Amino acid sequence: MANLTSFGRVLAAGTVLALALTACGKERDDDAAAEDTHTIATAYGDVEVPTDPERVVALSYDTPWQLQSLGVRPVATQDYSAYIDEFSESQQDFIDGIDSIGPYGEPDLEKIAAAQPDLIVGDVHEVDEATFEKLAEIAPTAIVGGEERGDWKAIVGALAEAVGAEEELARTTAEYDATLAEVKETYAEQIEGNTWIHFSLGNSEGEFSVQYPSGTTGSLVVDELGMAYGPNVPADPGDGFGYGSYSVEQIPTVFDGVTAALTFENTDGSPNPLIDAIEKNSLFQATEVAGTDRVFHLSVGVTDFATATLWLRQVEERVLSQL
């Protein structure tokens, strides 16, 4: 799988709710409402949204953290209690006490309506059009996306427009761009002097995965930092998943010529048991990266410009400065 977070399936369609909430959760005359709304482009067409929403429901898995980076605290999110340890302390604190709209993949439309949102936001890779139409009966709904599932830049940019957080987006974008430029310049020799791979756990036991440039992490490694993958690392098939899962029997071939490897660890810094099992496999132990102790573990999950900046600093500290 692409990383340590869950992807799941497209959100299931629920029962239609015949609810009509106004843009700010209270009645106002048409002229006033028109002045306080604007139209944005979404994955399912143009949508009129409040200019300054006060009660935002975060529908999709990464949406709360993307809103966090924009300085917007939602009034309701998915129920993360089953895997809360996957998130940083800052993220856990951010959603502490927030109402739940149901577990991942099972949005409860009644709970969403009970949150009295003036705006619902989510990711098109998790919300199909039928579900969007039901949500739109509750409140203005902005379902956004990019060219790939891992296109977090486009997703965060669209969310910023939806919630009116363009200034905070500009600030975090500038910080990210400056950090990226600094890291690439400072460690150009280390980046260009190695061949890389970012691997993780696979779809099932006995498999590992490669993070493709079409995914969030692979894009940062290959496209942003310019870390060239090894000569035998499989090419990105462009199937939209952002990763590929392979049998551990292919480790000798895939890792041949790789001089530095990146992978994940748990948010608390402990080893992920499934990745640990891959690294302890005799085939992996025979690779150059294992023999030279050049397997580097990263704990920061990236969903937005703020977390991407943290990821870059961790790569600098744990990887590039050690080479």
Would you state the torsion angle of the CA atoms of residues 187, 228, 248, 321, taken in this order, to the nearest 10 degrees?
A: 0
pLDDT at 17 over 50: no
Q: Give yes or no for a contact between 208 and 246, defined as CB atoms under 8 angstroms apart.
A: yes
Residue 240 and residue 246: Cα distance in Å, rounded? 17
pLDDT at 30 over 70: no
Predicted local distance difference test score (pLDDT) of residue 35: 59
* Phi-psi region at 116: left, alpha or beta (left = phi > 0; alpha = psi -120 to 50): left
Predicted local distance difference test score (pLDDT) of residue 157: 98
Query: Which residues touch 116 (CB under 8 Å, ≥6 apart)?
Result: 21, 25, 55, 75
Mean pLDDT for the chain? Answer: 90
Residue 139 and residue 124: Cα distance in Å, rounded? 17
Side chain identity at residue 130, one-letter code: A
Q: Which two tokens stand for residue 294?
A: 């050049």
Average pLDDT over residues 126-155: 94
Residue 323 and residue 317: Cα distance in Å, rounded? 10
* Phi-psi region at 105: left, alpha or beta (left = phi > 0; alpha = psi -120 to 50): left
Domains and CATH numbers, the chain: 30-164 (3.40.50.1980), 174-322 (3.40.50.1980)
pLDDT at 297 over 50: yes
Split at pLDDT 50, 70, 90, the class of 18 is: very low
Going by the DSSP 8-state scheme, the letter that residue 231 receives in this structure is T
Residue 181 and residue 193: Cα distance in Å, rounded? 18
- Residue 278's closest CA among 249, 317, 257? 249
Tracing tokens 């949500």 back to the chain, one arrives at 135
Reported pTM: 0.88
